[in-house]
Structure 1
Amino acid sequence: MQLPPQHLLQGLVKHYLIIDQKTSVQQYYRMFSDGNPGIVFHLKDPFLQWDEENLIAQLQPQSFIYGQLTHHNTIIATGNLNMIVVVLEPYALFTHFRTAAYELNDHAIPLEDLFAQEARNLEEQILTALTTDAAIGIIENFLLKHMPSQRHLTADFTMAMKLIYQHQGIVSVEDLLKALPTTERQLERKFREHIGSSPKRFADTIKFQHFLKLLQKQPHKKKIAALIYESGYYDHAHLNRNFRKMTGFTPAHYKDTTHMLAINLMPLH
């Protein structure tokens, strides 16, 4: 379930994602980038994060902030899921948390490391909240408290983001540069610092998310091929390569998957 933020938090929060699912068995999930960082609050057992390099699973913090994902990863639920994900705007780490976004790529930082006792108090208040709306109200009060110290974005970066979203990611860096008073090097530097990604990679992620949304709306019996050109891919092979790179699976596998927790969080069967 998605819930919108109050108007004062627009520009920081995209939406809240509420995940509440009962399970009696250990369940593996595949998570991949949606182009946004976020903050997670576990209300029950945290996920185990699978470390592909060291082949071990580590327990996620009770609450944490995460940056851009540069590759898909596997997480494991060991019990009932109940969590609130604050999905942030792509540039929120830079503007509101005053952090170079690339420093948090593929990392989860416990909220306690950033806000000390204030984070511990926040966790306790959320865990004892009687309703989801009350918990979100507590989170919003926390975020509003830290709003005044935000950094501002430059006009050229703002325009680049606007163009990428307007074209659903189907826009080249060359086309962006034609419309902006900046050089490719300057644009690359700003995207890396503000978002943690290159302009091309970010546009590719937005294009991929656009395809997923079209795929979710498509009647199950219709062929995926009908969406290829509309989504900015050259052919089926181009789509398949991109899909495997982003998720580790084929589009058909994704379409046949049930019980999705989010558009970028799917169970592994």
Structure 2
Amino acid sequence: MSIYEELVVPAGLAGIATRLWQLEATPLHRYEKILPLPNVHLIVNLSDPYRLFGRAGRAAEVVDAFVSGLQRECLVIESPTRIRHVGVELTPAGLHTMAPQHAAASAGAVQDARRLLAGVDALVAQLHAASAPDARLRILAEFLLRASAQPPDRLVDDAVRAIGADLDRTIESIAAELGVSQRTLMARFRAVTGTTPKQHAQVLRFHRFVDAVHTAGGRPDWAALAVSSGYYDQPHVIRAFRRFSGWTPGEYYRLAAEHGPDAAHFVPLAQLPLAAQASA
């Protein structure tokens, strides 16, 4: 049996968090490939530990409270036999409101939340002690409200929205609209998110393309999806899939389609990819 609950994001977290959830479930397979996501995530794991496999194949046990920054490539994890965690999805600039000195370094990394945020030990203890999912979600929301010491960077927030509205817009045009130089926008964006506007747009385009694959109905028309998603042609799609997932589009679809849209970005794997097997 699976239990999934969400909490409406409190007004005080507007522009910082986009989703708070609790999940209890048995994984479909022991391993899972997580495709790059255009948001930051803070997870408090209330079950047995996860293990994380990098593309180089090295395995590491993940601590009970961790931050997954903006990723530029896929991650492979080994799930506990029963998943039980509480999490929040932060905007690309959301972590900066809580940990401005560490936010940029979080990109491309999965880190112990204790290195970035104060009060995590108390948060973990409270979540373990809470008896109901809605209570855990309220505890997490209250922690985030206390931790958000400053408002989101307006310039970066506006740039993120402009990119999301038109993935083909140039950095020059966005900077001009926001009244700053291209250099200033690039520097602020990197300082707040740890990535660049171009990298964010690339991940967001791929993320939306993957969503479109599962909402088109029937077997994907890759050429049509490429055009509608802003890719130049099918070879461009293939390069994006290899870069962000390690698979061709066809390989991805064969693995993900049987599990439905819920597995679009979190693809269950019956076994480890060959690159990770040596360190399993």
Shorter-chain TM-score range:
0.7 to 0.9
1:88 aligns with 2:90: yes
1:98-113 aligned at under 5 Å gives the runs 98-113=100-115
Contact 1:170 1:231 in 2 (8 A): no
Identity across the alignment (%): 24
Task: Give the secondary structure class of the aligned counterpart of 2:125.
Answer: helix
Aligned-pair CA distance for 1:90? 0.5
- Superposition TM-score, scaled by structure 2 size: 0.84
Task: Give the secondary structure class of the aligned counterpart of 1:82.
Answer: strand
Contact 1:19 1:261 in 2 (8 A): no
Aligned residue pairs total: 263
Task: Give the secondary structure class of the aligned counterpart of 1:205.
Answer: helix
When the two chains are superposed, the root-mean-square deviation of aligned CA atoms in Å is: 2.4
- Shift in alpha-carbon separation, 1:219–1:52, aligned structure 2, 3 A: closer
Equivalent residue in structure 1 for 2:74, among 72, 75, 80:
72
- Shift in alpha-carbon separation, 1:26–1:214, aligned structure 2, 3 A: closer
CA distance in 1, matches of 2:142, 2:150: 16
Aligned-pair CA distance for 1:263? 4.1
Give the residue type in structure 2 aligned to 1:248: G
Aligned-pair CA distance for 1:99? 2.7
Gaps of 5+ in 2: 271-280
- Superposition TM-score, scaled by structure 1 size: 0.87
CA distance in 2, matches of 1:243, 1:19: 28
In structure 2, what is the equivalent of residue 158 of structure 1?
157
Aligned-pair CA distance for 1:206? 1.5
1:39-78 aligned at under 5 Å gives the runs 39-53=42-56, 55-78=57-80
Which has the larger displacement, 25-34 or 81-90? 25-34
CA distance in 2, matches of 1:20, 1:170: 39
Aligned-pair CA distance for 1:18? 3.8
Aligned-pair CA distance for 1:78? 4.0
Equivalent residue in structure 2 for 1:15, among 19, 22, 41:
19
- Shift in alpha-carbon separation, 1:227–1:26, aligned structure 2, 3 A: closer
Contact 1:18 1:83 in 2 (8 A): yes
1:30 aligns with 2:33: yes
1:1-269 aligned at under 5 Å gives the runs 1=4, 3=6, 4-23=8-27, 27-53=30-56, 55-115=57-117, 118-147=119-148, 149-155=149-155, 157-167=156-166, 169-256=167-254, 257=256, 258-259=258-259, 263-269=264-270
Task: Give the secondary structure class of the aligned counterpart of 2:48.
Answer: coil
